[in-house]
Amino acid sequence: MQKSSLKIGLFGIGLDAYWKQFEGLKERLENYLSAVEQKLSAIHPQIINLGLIDTPDKAFEAGSRFRTEDVDLIFLYVTTYALSSTVLPVVQKAKVPVIILNLSPEAAIDYSNFNKLTNRTKMTGEWLAFCSSCPVPEIANVFNRTGIKFHQITGMLNNDPECWDEIAEWVQAAKVANIMSHNRMGCMGHYYSGMLDIYSDLTQQYATFGGHIELLEVDELAGLRKEVSSEEIQERVILFNETFDVQEDCSIEELERAAKTSVALDKLVERYSLGSIAYYYKGTGNFDNEDTISSIILGNSLLTARGIPVAGEYEIKNAQAMKIMDSFGSGGSFTEYYAMDYKDDVVLMGHDGPGHIAIAQGRIKVRRLAIYHGKVGNGLSVEMSVKNGRVTLLSVVEQASGKLMLLIAEAESVAGPILEIGNTNSRYKFSIGARKFVNDWNSYGPAHHCAVGTGHISSKIKKLGQLLNIDVVQVC
């Protein structure tokens, strides 16, 4: 899984007029802010904490500082009542997503001891330490009227796992957004001719996810294969046997052919610092190119397991979906409908080409295929099922408007017979049933490919969509 360069901004807010009026209040709120920083640092270490902002002047300075520090996300911790004029300049100048933390220091005020206080000033100071919820409507009003998108988390500073799990999900989503914004995707070859659903506007990919797309020629990979040494080939064959369950019908010649391509792929990835790849090559009789592409599957599987997902059929949108799933730590394997099983109410889904080793049920089998259906040549392929248990399906959908959206579904990968045809293949059971899932999923017009990963992570993907400002639809 690729590391992110995510930086998180943190600041608290207060009202400077309070500090002279209520002894110890500022120090108490600063301690609360320190506790938030410690908890956030346990989730992600790169925290830029600018302390309590209590005047407009400090707010302008904080906004400039956040821009200088290049933060990706801001957590605004509401410690007590504060004027919205001390908040707006920070967020306006920083120009990054903001999460409002409306966190009470405890579950409730100790009313009995509170009402025993004889000094009304002390009583007010005690109340102000608990009134974080007071200015949130004011802040929300101003953010809405100034066109600033925000998200809010309401809960407790301590002893509130639900609250801090949600905060952790926002951080995870921000990490993925950061990874996508720096990802370099290699697009090698060309579209599968006539497969119209996979055609994509590359500029829209930039607009939505950021990153960089490097257009590559198959010839370059074929050329790199010629530079691979016999020692490198033998080392890679050893790695294949350690990693995969290589079947008896796989000849040493085919393993060496795949090994040569795998080593060359690694060199290509290193040359362009690639974090994902989409590829397809029809073939025109050029032996070197066809020999390269027909021996690419094992190398692609190794790359996918390393956090460099590879999507066949030049499915750029799905390479993005696979990268998102992998960046969440859920894998992200190339998949499509294979067949309906009405007897067991499951959908069989899989794909030829690379599989994701990290999410396989057992060791991946390597089989020899006499033909690659609909594609050039023959050679070795992988056969696997996704681990039994919870899974999430993700599709990056290009809509009629040209804008992208994320389509998700949660399911269970269940045990049972699969098609042993040398491809990835799993059985998925959906809470709404196989028929309704297929109808509902198809109704949003996704391409016929999607990415599947382990775990139910729809709540994280929805947060990613909010950070990227794109729609997310969950069918189940």
Yes or no: say if 452 and 335 are a contact pair by the CB < 8 Å rule. yes
101 inside domain: yes
Q: Give yes or no: residues 351 and 202 share one domain.
A: yes
Q: How confident is the model at residue 432 (pLDDT cuts 50, 70, 90)?
A: very high
95 inside domain: yes
Boundary of a domain, candidates 132, 155, 180: 180
3 inside domain: no
Model pLDDT for residues 400-421, shown as the tens digit of each residue: 999 999 999 999 999 998 887 7
pLDDT, position 374: 57
300 inside domain: yes
pLDDT, position 375: 57
Q: Tell me, what CATH number does 263's domain have?
A: 3.20.14
Q: Tell me, what CATH number does 156's domain have?
A: 3.40.50.10940
Please compute the mean of the pLDDT values over residues 103-124 and round it to a whole number.
Answer: 85
In the predicted structure, residue 87 carries a pLDDT above the cut 90: yes
Q: Give yes or no: residues 272 and 356 share one domain.
A: yes
Q: Say what the pTM is.
A: 0.94
Mean pLDDT for the chain?
Answer: 93
In the predicted structure, residue 398 carries a pLDDT above the cut 90: yes
Q: How confident is the model at residue 107 (pLDDT cuts 50, 70, 90)?
A: confident
Model pLDDT for residues 148-183, shown as the tens digit of each residue: 999 999 999 999 999 999 999 999 999 999 999 999
Q: Give yes or no: residues 245 and 368 share one domain.
A: yes
Place of tokens 């010839």: 219
pLDDT, position 120: 84
Boundary of a domain, candidates 180, 214, 237: 180
pLDDT, position 371: 57
Report the share of the chain in percent with pLDDT over 70: 97
Token output for 227:
């530079």
* Structural domain of 29: 8-180
Token output for 406:
């994320």
Please compute the mean of the pLDDT values over residues 425-447 and round it to a whole number.
Answer: 96
| Interstrand relation of 73-78 and 8-13 (parallel, antiparallel or unpaired) | parallel
pLDDT, position 367: 84
Residues whose CB falls within 8 Å of the CB of residue 50, separated by 6 or more in sequence, listed in order: 9, 10, 11, 62, 65, 66
Maximum mean pLDDT: which of 13-22, 107-116, 363-372? 13-22
Place of tokens 């050039």: 376
pLDDT, position 383: 83
Q: Give yes or no: residues 236 and 301 share one domain.
A: yes
Q: How confident is the model at residue 476 (pLDDT cuts 50, 70, 90)?
A: very high
Boundary of a domain, candidates 161, 180, 199: 180
Please compute the mean of the pLDDT values over residues 29-56 and round it to a whole number.
Answer: 96
pLDDT, position 66: 97
2 inside domain: no
Count of structural domains, the chain:
2
Model pLDDT for residues 45-81, shown as the tens digit of each residue: 999 999 999 999 999 999 999 999 999 999 999 999 9
Q: How confident is the model at residue 126 (pLDDT cuts 50, 70, 90)?
A: confident
Model pLDDT for residues 375-393, shown as the tens digit of each residue: 566 778 888 889 999 999 9
In the predicted structure, residue 197 carries a pLDDT above the cut 90: yes
Q: Give yes or no: residues 170 and 214 share one domain.
A: no
Q: How confident is the model at residue 370 (pLDDT cuts 50, 70, 90)?
A: low
Model pLDDT for residues 212-234, shown as the tens digit of each residue: 999 999 999 999 999 999 999 99
Q: Give yes or no: residues 176 and 269 share one domain.
A: no
247 inside domain: yes
Model pLDDT for residues 305-342, shown as the tens digit of each residue: 999 999 988 999 999 999 999 999 999 888 988 899 99
Q: Give yes or no: residues 305 and 454 share one domain.
A: yes
